[in-house]
Structure 1
């Protein structure tokens, strides 16, 4: 028999659809003896060594990522293209049997993440070349996605932050054309948030690309930005192979753009 009080605590700590490590559950006050008995009784179901879900609940990428966010000491956000998709700002939703979810953190992914099987590819992006830690810790730049009733919410980057994260990956994992189409739809960005993020952003490439695309589409918020205040580095930056030099922001872009 499982201790009733501990069983209720487990239900609170580990909602259906989420995962937890043995070490984290112990740190929350559950004994090793109780956890071992919970596994024997199938109350806890192992997904990998030391990683559990509860009562054979189905685990989705949202449950896994929400669980990482709860257990991690460092901020971990859904960001980039995935954050824009959650906000309804992308016409290119990740489709197929193995969609790609973009996660951003200044810490490496937990080791157990590669040992569990979900039908989604989680792509981990280090943020030290994009954001200072104070931006990652600032709730002003994070929105909440209620992915399942009565469960914790999933934290994802606001659109102003997400587009800069996405542009840092051009053209390696996202094309100029796709980035251009996404920027075209970003009519309602906050110039105040953009100003703060552009001042803080560590990626010269992301900032120059952002300003080029913003100027290209002439959104109303672009006129309220002050590029002279941002650290845009010096010299020319080659981004597009065999592209042409854009004279204002000094980046190479595709010739047909």
Structure 2
């Protein structure tokens, strides 16, 4: 009985999550999956979702399996993407946090969100940067392929988080350290971005940091709208961007 599973495991990491529909496509039908479960080879996580007995798949490994086996596009983004790329200025107390993104028509399954993992999940469905996965790149870590936001996309995702207004200075510290980003990718992302708040905050911070990639942007092609934004309830009004931001960010040198 072990032979079929051993053949399948030649192509995936042992700590992968195994989806029933994918196993079927590899020649192991539902009856065979049940037999492997009864014989102690597989443990059931949810309906049609398994792991090898004795393994503990990580959250990110599970996301990789979800994407590669089911043809999905769950993106590891925001602070998690920045940390994977070496920008670890923003530290969470306690268990690590995974920021995951999908579009609204492809929500993550409830079992994945409810399961106890090695990371806490912060999950958002959003299309504020369009539906084309602009600035999303493939990273391979420990034989697993991940869809990970580029640094350029990830910083915009950070600014779009619901609680971003309380973390503006932390986000600025990250932008300040980003000296070698791609202005052409930023240009594409900013022109596609539907959040005027995110665009204004980002351009304010990028201008303040004074990087050469900011000076290469074609600002006339980026629509910032005309509405006034109160990013924080009190603070300092920035006339150029028609918004009120925290005093600590405005006065930071």
TM-score (norm 1): 0.87
| Superposition map of 1:117-196 within 5 A | 117-128=116-127, 130-134=128-132, 136=133, 138=134, 141-148=135-142, 151-169=143-161, 171-172=163-164, 175-196=167-188
After superposition, the CA RMSD in angstroms is 2.1
Distance 1:245 1:173 in 2: 14
SS at match of 2:51: strand
1:72-116: CA deviation from partner (whole Å, max 9, x where unpaired):
4442110011111111012224452x2110011102111221343
Distance 1:173 1:103 in 2: 20
Aligned to 2:235: 243
Aligned to 2:43: 45
| Residue 87 (structure 2) aligned to one of 86, 89, 104 | 89
Deviation of the 1:123 alpha carbon: 1.3
Deviation of the 1:71 alpha carbon: 3.8
Distance 2:78 2:11 in 1: 29
SS at match of 1:248: helix
Aligned to 1:102: 99
CA 167–214 in structure 1, closer or farther in 2 if over 3 Å, else same: same
Distance 1:173 1:153 in 2: 32
SS at match of 2:123: strand
Deviation of the 1:65 alpha carbon: 1.7
1:105-140: CA deviation from partner (whole Å, max 9, x where unpaired):
102111221343213111111122x12112x1x5xx
Distance 1:144 1:94 in 2: 25
Flag structure 2 segments of 5+ consecutive residues without an equivalent.
Answer: none
Distance 1:113 1:235 in 2: 39
CA 122–170 in structure 1, closer or farther in 2 if over 3 Å, else same: closer
Aligned to 2:212: 220
Distance 1:71 1:238 in 2: 44
Contact 1:204–1:232 at 8 Å: present in 2 too? yes
Flag structure 1 segments of 5+ consecutive residues without an equivalent.
Answer: none
1:17-56: CA deviation from partner (whole Å, max 9, x where unpaired):
1112323433444211110111012221222343211132
Number of residue pairs the alignment of both structures matches:
247
| Superposition map of 1:70-81 within 5 A | 70-81=68-79
CA 185–45 in structure 1, closer or farther in 2 if over 3 Å, else same: same
Contact 2:66–2:72 at 8 Å: present in 1 too? no
Deviation of the 1:66 alpha carbon: 1.0
